[in-house]
Amino acid sequence: MKYISTRGKTEAVSSAEAIRTGLAPDGGLYMPDRFPETDNKFLMELAELSYPERAAKIMHLFLSDSYTLKEISDDCFAAYNEGSFPGGPAPVKKAGDINILELWHGPTAAFKDLALQIMPRLFVRAVRKTGDSRKALILVATSGDTGKAALEGYRDVEGVDIAVYYPVDGVSRIQKLQMSTQTGNNVRVRAVSGNFDDTQNGVKKIFSDASISAELNRRGRFLSSANSINWGRLVPQICYYYSAYCDLMNSCTLKPFETLDVTVPTGNFGNILAAYIAKKCGLPLGRLICASNSNNVLTDFISKGVYDKNRPFILTSSPSMDILISSNLERLIYTVSGAAETRRNMSDLARSGLYSVDDETHRKITDDFNGDYLDEESVGKTIKTVYDRYGYLIDTHTAVAYGCAEKYAVRTGMPMLVVSTASPFKFAPSVLNALGIQKYGEDDPLETLSAKTGVNIPYPLRGLNERKIMFPPEDSINPADMPADVLGNI
C-alpha cells in the first residue's frame, strides 16, 4: 500500500515515510491509496483474539508495505498491556440500551493513549526504515490532553526527545499537574505565558523556520510532531471499532454482522474518521453520528455542506472539543471528492475561513454521517440523568455523545455504540457540578467525586497532588523565547 497526499501534489510514499514526516510536503495529509477489504470471515477470526492481536492484524492491513506483522504485533503487546491499561484498552459497557466503548483506561485517562502508546514505537521504526540516522525532537503545543498523552508515549523512548509547550493559564488544574510532574530522561515541559493560540503559533513558527531546522540538522536532529494529522495516530484508532464490534458479537448484543450505529464526541475529526475508514473497509457500521459541543461548526457543515469557522469560539466544559478548524475533515473531503476539490476547499478555508462542497459531495457525506450537538445545559443534564438512571458516571465529552446518541437511537431503535473518550475524574469539577454537588470545600474534587459515587479514581490520577513537580509552571517562558528554549537544551 502507498500513501498519497489529500492535495495530490506530492509523490506517493511508503507508510513508514508517512509516519516519519506527518504532513505531506504539499501541505496535505497522507491517506492510503485504497481501503483494504475485511469480510465476515475476517471478523469471525478477529473475534477470537485478544486486543493486541486484533490491533496488530488490522494495522498490518495498512502498514504491510513497510512493517512486518511480527514488528507490529510486538509493538501492540508492548503498548496494550495490563500494566498500562488495567481493565483492558477498549472494554465495552452498557448504560441503558446504549453500548459504551470506554477508551480511557490508559496512562493519562483519555482516549489519546490508544494512539499515543503505540505511535512512538511505529515512529522509531519508521525513522530507521527510512534510513534517517538523526535523533528526533518531537515538538507539541497542547491545550491539555495531547501533551500529557504524548509525554507518556515518548518518555524514555530511545532516539527521541520530546518538548511540550502549554499555555500557563489555558489548561485545567489536573492537566497542569499531570504535565508538570512528568518524569522521563528525554522529556521537557514548558508553561508559556499566553493563550493556546500564542503557544501553537510559537510551535508552528519553529517548524517553519529553516534556520532552526538547519541548526538542528547540524546537531544530528530533526523535528517531528505528534499531533492528530499524522497517519501513525489515526491507524491505531481504526482498531478499536473492530474490537468493539467483535466484543458485541461475542456477547450476543449484536447478531453476527448486524449493523451498528456509532456516536463519536468530535473535535479534530480524527476519532470519527477512523470509524468511517473501518466502515469503508467492510466493518458493518451504520450511521456515524458526529457529536459536537456548542462549537458546532461540524453540525452545520454536515447539515448544509458549508464549512464556516467565522463564529465566536466558545469555552465549554468539554475543552478537548473546543475546536473551530477540524484538520482531519480534509481526509473525508478528499475521500469523497478527490484532490482537486480538496485543494480548492482548503485554500478557500485559509483565505476566508469558509468553503462549501458541491451537492454530490454533500450527499455522499450525509449517506454516512449525521451531525448533532449538545449545549452546555444539556451536557450537565445528560451526566445527571445517566448517573441517576443507570449508576454510570460519564465525563463531559462522553455526555455530548451520549445525549446525541440517545436522541437518534430513540427514533430508530437500532443498536448504538457511544465512544467514551475521557474518565469522568479527568473533568471532576464539571461532573460534580452536573451532579449538583457544588460544595466540596478544601477537599480535592477527585476525592469528593469518588466518595460521593463509590467509583474509584483511575490509577494515573491518584495522588497527583503529592507528586514531585519537575517542571514548575511558575517558570513560564514568553512565546518569543520558544526557539531559544528548543535549541538551548539539546
Task: Write out the catalytic residue numbers.
Answer: 112
Question: Which 331-350 residues touch ligand PLP, going by CB under 6 A?
Answer: none
Strand 260-265, strand 30-32: pairing: unpaired
CA-to-CA separations, 185 to 128, 138, 160, 162, 361, in angstroms, rounded: 21, 14, 10, 10, 48
Cell numbers for 447: 476525592
Rounded to whole angstroms, the Cα distance separating 145 from 151 reads 10
451: number of Cβ within 10 Å: 12
294: number of Cβ within 10 Å: 21
Interface size with ligand PLP, residues (CB under 6 A):
17
Residue with smaller CB distance to ligand PLP, 230 or 320: 320
For 337, residues 6+ apart whose C-beta sits below 8 A from its C-beta are: 357, 358, 360, 361, 364
Nearest to 79 by CA among 458, 71, 93: 71
Task: Name the one range near ligand PLP by CB under 6 A: 110-118, 134-142, 303-311, 433-441.
Answer: 110-118
Residues 206, 215: contact at Cβ < 8 Å?
no
Nearest to 32 by CA among 69, 66, 63, 7: 63
268 binding ligand PLP? (CB under 6 A): yes
265 binding ligand PLP? (CB under 6 A): yes
Q: How far is the CB of 341 from ligand PLP (least distance, A)?
A: 22
Residue with smaller CB distance to ligand PLP, 67 or 104: 104
**377-416 mask for ligand PLP (x: CB under 6 A)?**
--------------------x-------------------
Rounded to whole angstroms, the Cα distance separating 445 from 178 reads 15
Q: Is 94 helix (H, G, I), strand (E, B) or coil?
A: strand
269 binding ligand PLP? (CB under 6 A): yes
Kindly tell me which residue out of 21, 99, 175, 271 binds ligand PLP, with binding defined by CB under 6 A.
Answer: 271
Nearest to 41 by CA among 29, 57, 23: 57
Rounded to whole angstroms, the Cα distance separating 40 from 74 reads 26
Task: Name the one range near ligand PLP by CB under 6 A: 3-11, 109-117, 190-198, 460-468.
Answer: 109-117
Kindly tell me which residue out of 293, 320, 342, 453 binds ligand PLP, with binding defined by CB under 6 A.
Answer: 320
At what angle are helices 329-337 and 270-281 packed, to 10 degrees? 30
The one-character DSSP state at 244 is H
Q: How far is the CB of 465 from ligand PLP (least distance, A)?
A: 22
CA 14 to chain centroid: 23
270 binding ligand PLP? (CB under 6 A): yes
Task: Name the one range near ligand PLP by CB under 6 A: 8-16, 41-49, 264-272, 299-307.
Answer: 264-272
Residue 318 falls in which region: left (phi positive, over 0), alpha (psi -120 to 50) or beta: beta
Q: How far is the CB of 260 from ligand PLP (least distance, A)?
A: 19
288 binding ligand PLP? (CB under 6 A): no
**111-130 mask for ligand PLP (x: CB under 6 A)?**
xx------------------
Task: Name the one range near ligand PLP by CB under 6 A: 8-16, 118-126, 266-274, 453-461.
Answer: 266-274
Rounded to whole angstroms, the Cα distance separating 59 from 36 reads 11
Nearest to 289 by CA among 280, 302, 278: 302
Looking at the DSSP bridge assignments, the partners of residue 292 are: 373
Residue with smaller CB distance to ligand PLP, 170 or 267: 267
**31-50 mask for ligand PLP (x: CB under 6 A)?**
--------------------
Rounded to whole angstroms, the Cα distance separating 60 from 122 reads 12
Q: How far is the CB of 122 from ligand PLP (least distance, A)?
A: 18
Residue with smaller CB distance to ligand PLP, 228 or 382: 228
Kindly tell me which residue out of 163, 321, 399, 432 binds ligand PLP, with binding defined by CB under 6 A.
Answer: 321
Q: How far is the CB of 195 from ligand PLP (least distance, A)?
A: 18
Kindly tell me which residue out of 17, 145, 198, 376 binds ligand PLP, with binding defined by CB under 6 A.
Answer: 145
Sign of the torsion formed by the C-alpha atoms of 152, 201, 338 and 126: negative
Residue with smaller CB distance to ligand PLP, 271 or 316: 271
Question: Which 419-478 residues touch ligand PLP, going by CB under 6 A?
Answer: 421-422
Task: Name the one range near ligand PLP by CB under 6 A: 24-32, 203-211, 267-275, 459-467.
Answer: 267-275
Q: Which residues bind ligand PLP (CB under 6 A)?
A: 110-112, 145, 228, 265-271, 320-321, 397, 421-422
